[in-house]
Structure formats: C-alpha cells, structure tokens
Amino acid sequence: MTTTRFAAPKSNSYDVVIVGGAVMGSSTAYWLSENADFGGRVLVVERDSTYHFAPSARAASCIRQQFSQPVNILISQFGVEFIRGFGDRMQKHHPNATAPDLAFKEHGFLYCWRPEHAEKARARAELQRSLGAHTLFLTPGEIKERFPWANVDDLGGASWATEAEGWFDNIGLLNGLRHAAKAQGVEYVDNEVTGVDRDGDRITGVQLATGEKIACGTLVNTAGGRGRIIANLAGFDIPIERRKRDLFVVASDKPVSGRMPHVIDISGAFCRPEGQFFLTGHSPPEDPEAALDDYEARHWDFEEYLWPALINRIPQFDALKVQRFWTCHYDYNTLDYNAIIGPHSEVKNFIFCNGFSGHGLQQSPAVGRAISELIAYGAYRTLDLSEMGFERVAAKRPFLEEAII
C-alpha cells in the first residue's frame, strides 16, 4: 500500500533506471552521481517515498564485522569508514547548515556461542582479526569479568569487538544519500515498475503504473522485499523471500551497568541499549514467508520465545515492559543468506542487488559503490564482489554466510 501520489518522470529515456529508492537504491544513485567518469542520466523509481514500510526505515540499523565470509567483513569495514565520515561527505550538500550526523554508537557486538561452537567461533575471530577487525574471543570467565550482568553458565565463549561495530541513525543515512543524489542530478519519481521490457539478451526499458514506457541502458533491481517480483517481470527468478522480524522497545526496572554492547544470544535473540530503554528482537523459530502487506507484530512471540531468552542471558530482565513495537521485512536469500549482487549471466544490463537477509543497511555504502563501478566501468574497482554474483544462484551453488541473525 502506498501513501504517495504517483507521478510521471521528466523524460522517457535514461541511461540507468534504479527500481527502489531506499538505502541500497539511493546509495547506488549517490555513487553514480559522485563519479566524474559517469555522465549518464539516472532515474530512481520508488513506489512509496515516505519509506513507511521500507526495511531501511524499520531495521535495527547496526553494523558489525563478525561475519564468516571475508568479503562481508571487508564490506562492513568500508561501511564503518563511510558512517564515521558521513557528515564530512555530506557537508558540500548542506552549505548553509550542519551536515547530518549518524550518531554512530561504537559499543561493539557480543556474539554468544554454545560450547560446541566455541572453537569454530575462535577461529572465525582470528580470521576477522587477520583482515583488520578488532574481534576478541572471550572465555565465559572473561565475559563475566567485562559484563557482570551476563549469565555465562550455558556458554562456551563469545566473540566481541572492541570498536568499529555498533549502531547508527538509519533514517539519517537514507535521507543523506537521497538528498545528495538528488542534489547532483539524479531524478527520483514516485511510481511503480509494473513491467520490464526485454529484447533477447538486453533489457530495453520498464513500464510504470501510470502507463509510461521508459527506455533504459541499465536496470538495477534494488526493490528489497519486492526484488523477486522485479526479477520475475524480466523473466528471471531468485531465491528471495520476505521474512518478518518483530522489534520491541522495552523498559527494565533494573538498569544494566557499564557500556552494554549489542548482545546476540545463542537463541537468536538480540538486545542493545537505546537511551533509557532497550531494543530487542530475534529470528523466530517459525519463519514462513510473509505477505507483502503483513506488518502485524507477533506479541505471542515476545512472550513465548524472546523474553525467556533475554531473562536467561540477562537475569535482571525479569521485569520488562514493552513500550513500543514494529515489524520489518527482510529480503531473505534462502540459498545461502548472502546478497545477490551484479549482472545477470546472460542479460548483462540487468543488475541484481537483492537478498541481503538483514544486512542491507550496513552493506549499502560498499555495495552501492560497487554497483556504480559496474555501470561506469564494467568491472569492480574497489572491492571485488564477484563471489556474490548471480552465477552461483543459477548453478545452485551456495556461498554460505554462517553468521546471520
């Protein structure tokens, strides 16, 4: 359901059409507009520019380097650099005002592990450190020493980053990228892509809900939970499903002392401080595909699964009170939980940017830059994201990311 009135674009032909104007689409548009070597015209088609239901606006908005695949670690490292320097990057677009500050809280992640997973987690921490991350593996005793509020009786250890991990202002990131892209000539239009025109191994254009046919040189699919729909319109399929994630803001009668990190429990629950409150959620045990319009929070899920997990890990959370709640949709890659990035293997001017499985916000700076390089130069010039390409999907060859939430 949209809350904006659709409008027609200014032209009937663009070098690049980006389907979806949330954080991934706006990052791609921003990097294209920043590139002096690219002089093409860019159109971003967004069906609801209020972004009311966009994951970019509803997600937990955090960034970590604790991944199992090296490329995801490197993607996040650039994300941290970008978030830290966001105000300086954006200042030229705010000449008469202070540029947005993303309020990055580098409290780190505390990723808890069962005893049987401890050695693998220790090895993963060593991999992350070898690539420049700050991850430490903590024994149960070391966890208790640093975080005395944590119950460690059922843990084999935890990985913890001392810096360059935390959470930030998601709306600030989205609005900043969008504002900068528009200031540098990118056109945004409130509309919906209802058809994709294809001639053999080329995408030739898109059809809009208002009836226009728009020609394009390259089509970029950054449609989030609708990414599979856009792929289907072009005659392709990708293993993307919409999955619901409920988030709850809770109050506790008993404060947590010290600098609390973003805690990821062995149950799949997570919790972090947000001022005087706490933000929490988890990966539910029952996780079917969600309908496009299903944003109803599962309160029973909090009572039956989430709260008991929180009490087990942080015993002083025995008296929580829910203050507010909302539901977010992930574009979930059922093949391997990793994003699908890059051109179709045969239709080269259709570029996938889908299936981030909850990691889209933190990966958007590096991925948007990478896609802009593909468009401008025909190849990656900074981070090589070819391991995340469509070819593995066509071959049903997983590129598995083990550290997901």
**pLDDT above 90 for 356:** yes
**pLDDT above 60 for 238:** yes
For residue 97, what pLDDT is reported? 81
Strand locations in 32-126 (E): 42-46, 62-63, 109-113
For residue 304, what pLDDT is reported? 93
Integer Cα distance of 263 and 166 in angstroms: 10
Kindly report, residue by residue over 190-220, the tens digit of the pLDDT.
999 999 999 999 999 999 999 999 999 999 9
Integer Cα distance of 126 and 288 in angstroms: 35
pTM, two decimals, is 0.96
Opening angle at CA 360, ends 354 and 362, nearest 5: 150
**pLDDT above 90 for 95:** no
pLDDT classification of 3: cutoffs 50, 70, 90: very low
For residue 21, what pLDDT is reported? 98
For residue 205, what pLDDT is reported? 98
The tokens describing 172, both together, are: 């600030």
Neighbour-count burial of 211, counting CB atoms closer than 10 A to its CB (0-12 exposed, 13-18 middle, 19+ buried): exposed
Nearest C-alpha neighbor of 117 from the set 150, 152, 153, 157: 157
Neighbour-count burial of 358, counting CB atoms closer than 10 A to its CB (0-12 exposed, 13-18 middle, 19+ buried): buried
Kindly report, residue by residue over 146-202, the tens digit of the pLDDT.
999 999 999 999 999 999 999 999 999 999 999 999 999 999 999 999 999 999 999
Kindly report, residue by residue over 266-308, the tens digit of the pLDDT.
999 999 999 999 999 998 888 999 999 999 999 988 999 999 9
For residue 1, what pLDDT is reported? 43
Mean predicted confidence (pLDDT) in 23-49: 97
How many Cβ atoms from other residues are within 10 Å of residue 268's Cβ? 17
Contacts of 326 (CB under 8 A, 6+ apart): 58, 246, 247, 295, 297
Q: Among the listed ranges 29-33, 296-300, 319-323, which one has the minimum average pLDDT value?
A: 296-300
CB hemisphere CA count around 261 (13 angstroms): 24
For residue 4, what pLDDT is reported? 57
Contacts of 304 (CB under 8 A, 6+ apart): none
Kindly report, residue by residue over 104-139, the tens digit of the pLDDT.
999 999 999 999 999 999 999 999 999 999 999 999
Integer Cα distance of 273 and 301 in angstroms: 21
Strand locations in 222-346 (E): 240-252, 262-264, 269-274, 277-282, 320-333, 340-343
Integer Cα distance of 268 and 403 in angstroms: 11
Calculate the average pLDDT of the chain.
96
**Residue in this structure with the two tokens 């997990």, named with its chain if needed:** 309
**pLDDT above 90 for 49:** yes
Nearest C-alpha neighbor of 359 from the set 380, 325, 336: 336
Percent of the chain with pLDDT over 70: 99
**H-type helices in 239-293, by residue range?**
none
Q: Please, what are the domains in the chain?
A: 13-59+171-239+335-394 (3.50.50.60), 109-166+244-328 (3.30.9.10)
Mean predicted confidence (pLDDT) in 76-87: 97
Opening angle at CA 194, ends 327 and 12, nearest 5: 125
Contacts of 171 (CB under 8 A, 6+ apart): 57
Mean predicted confidence (pLDDT) in 13-34: 98
Integer Cα distance of 291 and 269 in angstroms: 23
How many Cβ atoms from other residues are within 10 Å of residue 222's Cβ? 31
For residue 2, what pLDDT is reported? 45
The tokens describing 147, both together, are: 């975080």
For residue 283, what pLDDT is reported? 87
Integer Cα distance of 297 and 288 in angstroms: 14
